[in-house]
Structure 1
Amino acid sequence: MNRDAPAIASASTEGPIPPKTAEQKLARKNELKAKSTLLLAIYDEHLLKFHGIKDANTLWEEIKARFEGNKESKKMQKTILKQQYENFTASRSKGLDKTYDRF
């Protein structure tokens, strides 16, 4: 090795690593932030099903496909939530904070 020659860092035999631009770094940072936010929103028991997905857009599409349901299930869920809302009562034995949290 010649100590006077500049060292060239390369990841492969194809040549030197191309420098990343500021836009590429920002896009990568935003992509990681979006993916981690989506993964944080998933319950732990479902997390392993989505963990292998590489980008945020694909992850979002998979989440929608799994949890969105069809029109009938949405209508049923809406009816159940409406009934729960109409039947909600505040308990005197529990404080206002607990009642608010339950609501």
Structure 2
Amino acid sequence: MDQDSAHIVAASKVYMLKPGEFELWRMRIEQYIQMIDYALWEVIENDKATRRLEVKARSTLMMGIPNEHLLKFNSIKDAKLLLEAIEKSFGGNEATKKTQRNL
């Protein structure tokens, strides 16, 4: 049996989630994914960590924005894009900085 057919046979034995049994399912699905390809589980774990850090970065940036500008930036969900938008609005060139000071 080659590797691809082994995955097909193993895939047919995936433990199905039942209401009220999430913890048991999570433990079994984690073991199953690690069994077929440990790197795949690493992708899942890293993705969760990346999302957590993204939310933390965005939240931190939003806390530093003056209240009157929050609505303008609230729709930007990506921290890197948010920082670029903040820089574009508040950084700018010398003429923009002078205008911001005068406002």
Give me the TM-score of the superposition, normalised by structure 1.
Answer: 0.52
Q: How many residues align?
A: 65
Greater Rg by CA? 1
Q: Which runs of 4+ in 1 moved over 6 A?
A: none
Q: Matched residues, percent identical?
A: 42
- Whole-Å Cα distance in 1 between the matches of residues 45 and 16 of structure 2? 24
Structure 1: unaligned runs, 5 residues or longer: 1-5, 10-18, 78-103
Higher helix share: 2
2:58 maps to 35
Q: What SS does the aligned partner of 1:53 have?
A: coil
The one of 68, 71, 74 equivalent to 2:91 is 68
Task: Report the CA distance between 1:73 and its aligned residue.
Answer: 5.2
* Gap runs ≥5 in structure 2: 1-14, 19-40
CA distance, structure 2, for counterparts of residue 49 and residue 73 of structure 1:
18
Structure 2 counterpart of 1:60, which letter? L
What is the TM-score with the length of structure 2 in the denominator? Answer: 0.52
1:25 and 2:48 correspond: yes
Give the superposed CA RMSD: 2.9
Find the partner of 2:82 among 53, 59, 69: 59
Question: 2:75 and 2:54 mapped to 1: Cα distance?
Answer: 15
